[in-house]
Amino acid sequence: MTYVVKSHKHAHRIFNLIAPIYHLVDPLVRIWYKKASVKLDKNIPLQGKSILDVGSGTGAWGALLQQRGAEKVHGVDIAELMVRGAKRRYRGKLTFSLVDGENFDEFEDGSFDLITASYVMHGMLRNSRQKMLEEMNRLAKDAIIIHDFHGEQPAFARFLEYMENSDYINFKKTFCEEMQEIFPLIYKLSIDKSDAIYIGFKSKEKTLEESKYLIKCNK
């Protein structure tokens, strides 16, 4: 589940390599995704929404959002084998295509209500994250939703991130600031000690229902 995207070529190679076994961790990851999707839905109702899931991987995150009522979920990923596996697993339910999340030329501005990415950003370098956030902002009608790390991770996850040379340490320090460069209104929804959902609204007027989980983004 952890990795570093030093370049597109690297992401492409790593994820195609692990695609045949990556879905084996899905039962565990789905437990975290379920918790996150329930809290997200309480704050941003997903019913009837069209959603683009960037770095869709096995399709597990997108599938959970659909279960919460999203009307249409389309996943994009840079790795062919990830896309192939997701298409096979969720045929007739979700759609997927091979697209680089830093360049969404094929999609028009505002073509989805919400754009999301789960466990994608912390593996990328800051300049790539910035390009991806800008593209997500362009495609979103309402908001973008980034599910990823914050706070303390369990020791084994820290070890894996270190071994795999992920950018998670910088990510956790600067991601709110990176979001603030693009979005006028940002919330952070704490899921648990290690995971959070970062929400970037395109308009300052939006407010989330008051929730004990909401914290200031730059905290």
| Residues lying near ligand SAM in the complex (CB under 6 A) | 1, 5, 8, 11, 15, 54-58, 60-61, 76-79, 82, 100-102, 118-120
Closest approach of ligand SAM to the CB of residue 100, in Å = 5
> Nearer Cβ to ligand SAM, position 82 or 140?
82
How many CB atoms within 10 Å of residue 126? 14
> Nearer Cβ to ligand SAM, position 29 or 185?
29
Closest approach of ligand SAM to the CB of residue 13, in Å = 10
> Nearer Cβ to ligand SAM, position 118 or 153?
118
Closest approach of ligand SAM to the CB of residue 118, in Å = 4
Judge whether 82 and 119 are in contact, CB under 8 Å: no
How many CB atoms within 10 Å of residue 25? 13
Judge whether 3 and 164 are in contact, CB under 8 Å: yes
Judge whether 101 and 54 are in contact, CB under 8 Å: yes
Task: Quote the CA–CA distance of 180 and 216 in Å, as a whole number.
Answer: 12
> Nearer Cβ to ligand SAM, position 185 or 200?
200
